[in-house]
Amino acid sequence: MRQSKRAKLALAGGIAATLALLLVTRRARAALPSPGGLGDLDALTRMLIAETGFARDEDEMAQIVFVALNRADRYGKTVAEIVDPSGRSPTWNMGERYLERFEDAPRNPRWDAAQGFVSEVLGGGYRNLGATSFVHPGGMPEPPCSGDRIATSTEYGERCLPPWIVEGTLVGGALFA
């Protein structure tokens, strides 16, 4: 019986050590600069300001940060490689408006607050829903819809949404899938 308890303790210790190693590895990866020279904290802060102006619901903004983290995990890249438009990554917003906001973000008066918020998210202050995509329905076009978009009733009225987001989870003013 005594060996069984020791075995269970050893197993629990091994699991705890593995989880700690994963957390350290993720944090170390977050500290590394992307090929463009941005660290993940800087890139996430720029992305959050470019996407939201750091003026939306905190739970919504946390999930947007998690979308970037989840995509980085999915594609085996740093977060900076995912969200930095200078590398023209096909895994994030490719719009010119996003690029301008991303580049101007460090001059935003909310920069320090946004960076502190991103640090809080990275430190475990929010729960990750596991989403890899999101849309702001209010920013989507009204019908008639083109392409594969479908007319969907939202709090902003009828909007043309991609089919993969229609059953998404609403957090703040964004849908996540």
Per-residue model confidence as pLDDT tens digits over 42-77: 999 999 999 999 999 999 999 999 999 999 999 999
Three-state SS for 62? helix
Q: Indicate if the pLDDT at residue 14 is higher than 60.
A: no
Q: Tokens 């959050």 identify what position?
A: 48
Is 97's pLDDT higher than 60? yes
The DSSP call for residue 152 is E
How many other CB atoms are found less than 10 A from the CB of residue 176? 22
Which pLDDT does position 30 carry in this prediction?
41
In this prediction, residues 147-164 reach a mean pLDDT of 94
pLDDT for residue 89: 62
Confidence of residue 92 (pLDDT cuts 50, 70, 90): confident
Which amino acid is residue 122, in one-letter code? L
Phi, psi torsion values for 92, nearest 5 degrees: -145, -170
Q: Are 160 and 151 in contact (CB under 8 A)?
A: yes
Smallest CA-to-CA distance from 118 within 21, 27, 32 is with: 27
pLDDT for residue 19: 40
Average pLDDT over residues 146-154: 94
Q: Which two tokens stand for residue 21?
A: 């190693």
Rg (CA), the chain: 19
| φ, ψ for residue 76, nearest 5 deg | 65, 35
Range of the domain at 50: 2-176
Which of 1-5, 36-40, 51-55, 68-72 is predicted least confidently?
Answer: 1-5
Average pLDDT over residues 129-144: 95
State the Cα–Cα distance between residues 133 and 75, nearest whole angstrom: 13
CA distances from 2 to 8, 9, 74 (A): 10, 11, 42
Query: Does residue 31 register a pLDDT over 90?
Result: no
Structure tokens at 177: 């899938």
Per-residue pLDDT at 38: 72
pTM over 0.85: no
Number of domains in the chain: 1
pLDDT score of 143: 97
